[in-house]
Amino acid sequence: MSQPTNGRRVLFLCTGNYYRSRFAEILFNRRAAELKLGWSAFSRALAIELGSCNVGPISQHTRDACRARGINVPEPIAFPCGASDADFRSADHVVALKEAEHRAYLRQKFPQWIDRVEFWHVHDLDQALPEDACAQIETHVEQLITRLADRP
């Protein structure tokens, strides 16, 4: 997805920027716009090289979760993108979707940013059904929006 240019920004991180972080980004942007929050989201991969078997620009699970919530996936949809230092610099808030999975990547690739990252505990497909993971992401996004709405 394209990086937003106005307002304050949330960066969502996952392993491949194909499923969990993309759903968090799309859902966050929908809810933030509805609430006129003044925040927007973008997402990136911490280990994009592991997504070589992914088909297309975004997971079908993400598309299904969006459809189930009446959210249109923005088109055209960009292919997954790896994280860079510039992404961290441009973010006002950073979330990694699963601490047990992503803390090591951050420590290895972006140790200077690790103290700015909020860690969630959303499992990938190897440990959770997409419906369960997406419901958990939805809960976390709603809680995050509530916290961000309270920021000056």
User: What tens digit of pLDDT does each residue of 76-130 get?
Assistant: 999 999 999 999 999 999 999 999 999 999 999 999 999 999 999 999 989 999 9
Spatial strand order of the sheet with 39-45 comes to 39-45, 8-14, 93-96, 117-119
For residue range 23-61, list pLDDT tens digits in order: 999 999 999 999 999 999 999 999 998 877 888 899 999
**Superfamily holding 8-149:** Response regulator (3.40.50.2300)
Chain-centroid distance, C-alpha 118: 12
Give the C-alpha separation, 41 to 34, whole Å: 14
The pLDDT, as a whole number, for residue 105 is: 98
Alpha helix segments (H runs only) across the chain: 20-35, 60-68, 85-90, 99-109, 130-149
Answer yes or no: is pLDDT of 4 > 70: no
- Angle in degrees, 0-180, between the axes of helices 130-149 and 20-35, rounded to the nearest 10: 40
